[in-house]
Amino acid sequence: MPTLVKLLAQRIALGLLLLFLVSILIFAGTNILPGDVAQSILGQSATPEALANLRKELGLNDPVVTRYFSWLGGALHGDLGTALTSRLDIATEIGRRLGNTLFLAFWAAVIAVPLAIFLGLLAVRYRDRWPDKVISAFTLASISVPEFLIGYLLMFFIGVKLRWFPSTAISYRPDADLFTRLESIALPVAVLTFVVLAHMMRMTRAAILNVMQSAYIETAELKGLRMFTIIWRHAFPNSIAPIVNVVMLNLAYLVVGVVVIEVVFVYPGMGQYLVDHVSKRDVPVVQACGLIFAAVYIGMNLIADVVSILANPRLRHPK
């Protein structure tokens, strides 16, 4: 048990260190951008006195290190600052938008994860036969096509031509009933499912096939067990670590990588919020969104590492 605690503590410490380094990159990257924040807020007709007063109010005259630690300290206490363009509290706006993004990612994960595992098991069961070839071809095609193109195709054929679901999610309201909310996000969820399904399915297939070459699998076959029983009871549990890793990475993508999907379907989530304020050069909002996206991605990777350590005894005893 002390070895396990030590490994978990190391992973958590590395995750926090990585998040700290990413926060430095986010702050430095937004501060070295060309242009003047005060000028972009007040416009070209602003007087030098007004620009100087606004820079002082925003703390732009302070040293970079002082501004960074002030920003980081506020973020650690839940204070992400105020949006320069709307003068609204960023934490409040992000809290509302993050809930929308998590709702979208949750339903995409509910569909994609079980379906990916099932298709992976099915591809292994019928390896090198037509079900395996059809599933592999479909997943390769979904990986090759950009997600925004899939979104526009679904929007045109299902939303405009067939009118099965709304073509955009602009009418999404968090206070609506569950059926109305699900109907609004049907097409974005479908696109996200197509995007992450392929990676999870192919990793599931590869991990199980790697285990299927083990000696105890041959023993199970000699005992006369059905192939699907061998895959489900013996191969799948022993290949869970790489499958968990790829599932967690794709769940992180569902939260972090929804920017394009939210913009395409005009969905009021974190991605749309970020893009709107990037165009306005609202630096505090960009910094806050970048930090939250980084924290989610690092957190998902950390969970994947912890689950892998708990599921695989070899990782707990590397020697």
Distance CA 247, CA 74 (A): 32
Confidence of residue 316 (pLDDT cuts 50, 70, 90): low
Distance CA 276, CA 127 (A): 47
19: exposed, middle or buried (C-beta count within 10 Å: 0-12, 13-18, 19+)?
A: middle
Q: What is the structure's pLDDT at 54?
A: 64
Domains and CATH numbers, the chain: 90-283 (1.10.3720.10)
More confident residue, 155 or 60: 155
pLDDT tens-digit profile of 190-201? 888 888 887 778
Q: What is the structure's pLDDT at 33?
A: 65
Q: What is the structure's pLDDT at 35?
A: 60
pLDDT tens-digit profile of 130-146? 877 888 788 777 777 77
Q: What is the structure's pLDDT at 268?
A: 81
Residues contacting residue 250 through CB under 8 Å, at least 6 positions apart: 112, 196, 199, 200
Distance CA 304, CA 252 (A): 10
Residues contacting residue 121 through CB under 8 Å, at least 6 positions apart: 204, 208, 228, 231, 232, 236
Rounded to 5 degrees, φ, ψ at 269 are: -115, -165
> Does the pLDDT value for residue 311 go beyond 70?
no
pLDDT tens-digit profile of 43-75? 566 666 666 766 666 666 667 777 788 777 877
Distance CA 62, CA 194 (A): 47
Written as six digits, the tokens of 145 are 């096509």
What are the C-alpha distances in Å from 292 to residues 108, 194, 242? 20, 25, 26
Q: What is the structure's pLDDT at 79?
A: 74
Written as six digits, the tokens of 224 are 């006369």
What are the C-alpha distances in Å from 103 to residues 186, 196, 262, 270? 12, 16, 12, 11
Q: What is the structure's pLDDT at 44?
A: 61
What average pLDDT does the segment 228-239 reach? Answer: 70
Q: What is the structure's pLDDT at 313?
A: 61
